[in-house]
Chains A and B, each alone.
Chain A
Amino acid sequence: MSEPTARTRALHWGRRVLPLLLLCVLPFYLDAFWLRIGLFSLAAAIGAVGLGLLTGTAGQLSLGHAFFLAVGAYGYVWLAGEPGPGLPPVLALVLAVLLAGAAGGLFSPVAGRVRGIYLGVATLALVFLGHHVLLTADSVTGGFNGRSVPPLPGFTDSDPQLVLLGVPFGAAERLWYLGLALFALTWFTACGLLRGRPGRALTALRDSETAASVMGVHVARYRSTAFVVSSMYAGLAGVLLALAFRRVVPDYFALALSVDYLAMIVIGGLGSVAGATAGAVFVTALPLLMTRYADQLPLVAAPGAADGVVGPTEAARYLYGAAIVLVLLYTPDGLRGLTRRLRTRRRLERPPATATSSREPTPAVRPKEHTP
């Protein structure tokens, strides 16, 4: 492997910083509609990264993600609002994330022992039981009609008034930066986890439980920890979604939401942070965009038309149901696998001299050293 030259190092950082800069200047050019789509996508991406850790890396099927999103969202609303302790919103945000983690921890007697498909159905129970609690515990959750979300101070339309470079900064613009910051936090922590010891241990666990436990991986503990960490990401996503929606209702956190998140990581490609993000953007933005441009699309009726015609939300569901099936049948690694395949093909077409880069993926297993 060659030493990283100044040029490759600059390229390395450029690839990381440039997208971030681009995302930072977006509010100066896009209107609130696009920023809201972006914000929902960022929130979904945070949750999807968490589910990706659990299902993609640790290989545990979970359909309970909606429950942990709900714990985060309702936790924040209750902790920061009235009735409730009325804590400062920033503190409530942190506590809500911890609360979601604790909920995941409470489930760990099941999550640590039950595996595969059994776990998938067991987590299904969380969604239904959670939905029931949200509907019945009126004093905390507001029942069927839900509760309005207390805003974070500084992230509202007018307090304080803010105009930057001639662009008025309302709630959408400010929340965009909050979402971006939280997403960056998610991205770096998740990448760190995956590259480090826990990521290796979880991958080993997914590939062979017996082999992993022989190598010294504590199976039940790593399983439960993966569940807790994934729940915390879900909680964070839940808080961000609550802030974006400004009102939380129980029916949003139903089984369909869990399935959405599963669809995100499958479409994006299991086991990768970037894939989960791409999948989250696709699944979140597709129905919103189709609703907005329904009148210009062929075969799609405007929203609110009579029964029996294909409306935009239905068209979006057809598309992403089909996307799940097609992605899994033809590119089992999802969008990520597709881009990687294209990249290697392009590399193969070029002469081999330029193909060797310093960023070869490190092999998962080091060559064995000879020991006497």
Chain B
Amino acid sequence: MTGLLDNLLSGLALGSVYALVALGFVVIFKASGVLNFAHGSLLLLGGYLIAVLHDDLGFAGALALAVVVTAAVAGALDRFLLQRGEPDPHAAHVQTIVTIGLDIVLVTDLSRRIGGDLLSLGDPWGDSVHDLGPVTVADSRLAAIVVSAVVIGAVFALFRYTAWGLSLRAAAEDLEAASLMGVRLVRVRTLAWCLAGALAALAAVFLVAFPAPGLERTTGQIALKAFPAAILGGMTSPGGALAGSVLIGLTEAFVVGYQTELHVLGEGFGDVAPYAVMVLVLLVRPTGLFGARGAARV
């Protein structure tokens, strides 16, 4: 029983971190139609900045600066490299591949700087734990769940109640009509990228916090697991991304937790379980659980 609760909690913590990353994918996809393959390197950039700065600025200051800088870098990448000329929905595929190129450059540079080291982010939770009834939980996991819930709630409120959120939803619905209604597509899109960058930097904190060993050069690859989460939910739906992330987090935690029973699948199956779940879902619903079934107009 305690094993079940334990797995449930760690699954939720993992899922909430994936949700931060997956939400970034969805925001970018809604605003620009691009699947951002450079998201992992943005996450790595955020984590690296915190690791380098936290000695001088303290953890909170380093986190704030890293979030701002990562957001600015994401916005700048979009504004100066991807958005060139008129907004063109057909360019999205090309831009998706451009983000792969950007990812190669960024990851190469960051992993050259990090080298073989394990960097600590200096987060205040350390390795302390809490007793919650029958189970013991790491503080970092509780913090991950709470902070993610607050931030995700705030992002949903942004979508729902602000002018920017309305513009974003309008642009995602119909680019041309939104533009005719006076939506500044360029600004909406750049802000979406900034938001995604900020979310990625925040996610980095919880991805490398205890019980993970610390920031290493492969940390960015963990962000790739948020791909299945975003795709599962349907790339156009923030709520779907949330559901997909929790599903992926729980799957991973349970597969790891019951590894001895699942020995047939081989050691380390937890790392690839998210992808298996995604393929199964796509077989049944090719546009994800909550994705828009785009009707083709001629």
Chain B residues, CB < 8 A from A118: 231, 235, 282, 286-288
Which of B4-12, B104-112, B130-138 participates in binding chain A?
B104-112
Contact A322 B105 (CB under 8 A): yes
Give residues 88-123 of A contacting B (CB, 8 Å).
109-110, 113-118, 120-122
| Chain B interface bracket (under 10, 10 to 19, 20 to 34, 35 or more) | 35 or more
Q: Name A122's contact: one of B224, B282, B296 (CB within 8 Å).
A: B282
Contact A321 B286 (CB under 8 A): no
Q: Name B105's contact: one of A116, A135, A210, A321 (CB within 8 Å).
A: A321
Chain A residues, CB < 8 A from B272: 128-129, 131-132
Cα A128 to Cα B278 in complex, Å, equals: 12
For A114, the closest partner residue in chain B by CB is B286
Contact B101 A322 (CB under 8 A): yes
CB of A312, distance to nearest CB on chain B (Å): 12
Contact A125 B286 (CB under 8 A): no
Chain B residues, CB < 8 A from A210: 296, 298
Chain B residues, CB < 8 A from A318: 105, 108-109
Q: Name B279's contact: one of A110, A266, A323 (CB within 8 Å).
A: A110
Whether A324 touches B100, Cβ cut-off 8 Å, given contacts A110-B282, A117-B35, A125-B279, is yes
Contact A61 B268 (CB under 8 A): no
Cα A178 to Cα B260 in complex, Å, equals: 47
Taken residue by residue from 321 to 355, chain A's Cβ proximity to chain B (1 for < 8 Å, 0 otherwise) reads as 11111001100100000000000000000000000
Taken residue by residue from 11 to 55, chain B's Cβ proximity to chain A (1 for < 8 Å, 0 otherwise) reads as 000000000000000000100000100000000000000000000
For B34, the closest partner residue in chain A by CB is A117
Cα A157 to Cα B298 in complex, Å, equals: 61
Give residues 259-317 of A contacting B (CB, 8 Å).
259, 262-263, 266, 307-310, 314, 317
Contact B104 A308 (CB under 8 A): no
Cα A177 to Cα B113 in complex, Å, equals: 42
CB of A29, distance to nearest CB on chain B (Å): 34
Cα A292 to Cα B84 in complex, Å, equals: 38
B186 within 8 A of A: no
B59 within 8 A of A: no
Contact B298 A132 (CB under 8 A): no
Q: Name B276's contact: one of A109, A125, A310 (CB within 8 Å).
A: A125
For A127, the closest partner residue in chain B by CB is B275
Contact A263 B93 (CB under 8 A): no
Cα A121 to Cα B265 in complex, Å, equals: 22
Q: Name A308's contact: one of B101, B113, B271 (CB within 8 Å).
A: B113
CB of A264, distance to nearest CB on chain B (Å): 12
For A116, the closest partner residue in chain B by CB is B93
Cα A266 to Cα B102 in complex, Å, equals: 14
Cα A318 to Cα B112 in complex, Å, equals: 11
Contact A121 B98 (CB under 8 A): no
Contact A125 B81 (CB under 8 A): no
Whether A328 touches B97, Cβ cut-off 8 Å, given contacts A113-B286, A124-B224, A128-B275, is yes
Chain A residues, CB < 8 A from B115: 307-308
CB of A187, distance to nearest CB on chain B (Å): 24
Contact B227 A121 (CB under 8 A): yes
Chain B residues, CB < 8 A from A129: 272, 275-276, 279
B182 within 8 A of A: no
CB of A348, distance to nearest CB on chain B (Å): 25
A183 within 8 A of B: no
Taken residue by residue from 245 to 279, chain B's Cβ proximity to chain A (1 for < 8 Å, 0 otherwise) reads as 00000000000000000000111110110011011
Cα A145 to Cα B273 in complex, Å, equals: 23
Q: Name B104's contact: one of A114, A131, A133, A321 (CB within 8 Å).
A: A321
Contact A310 B104 (CB under 8 A): no
Chain A residues, CB < 8 A from B212: none
B1 within 8 A of A: no
Cα A133 to Cα B276 in complex, Å, equals: 12
Contact A325 B102 (CB under 8 A): yes
Cα A310 to Cα B109 in complex, Å, equals: 9
For B106, the closest partner residue in chain A by CB is A321
Chain B residues, CB < 8 A from A113: 286
Contact B278 A307 (CB under 8 A): no
Contact B268 A135 (CB under 8 A): yes
Contact B235 A117 (CB under 8 A): yes
Chain A residues, CB < 8 A from B265: 136
Contact A132 B268 (CB under 8 A): yes
Chain A residues, CB < 8 A from B113: 308
CB of A203, distance to nearest CB on chain B (Å): 15
Chain B residues, CB < 8 A from A117: 29, 35, 93, 96, 235
5 A-B contacts, Cβ less than 8 Å apart?
A263-B101, A323-B101, A324-B97, A329-B98, A332-B94
Nearest 9 CB-CB pairs, A to B? A324-B101, A136-B266, A321-B104, A307-B115, A125-B275, A321-B105, A325-B101, A317-B108, A132-B272
Interface residues of A (CB under 8 A from B): 59, 61, 109-110, 113-118, 120-122, 124-125, 128-129, 131-133, 135-137, 209-211, 255, 259, 262-263, 266, 307-310, 314, 317-318, 320-325, 328-329, 332
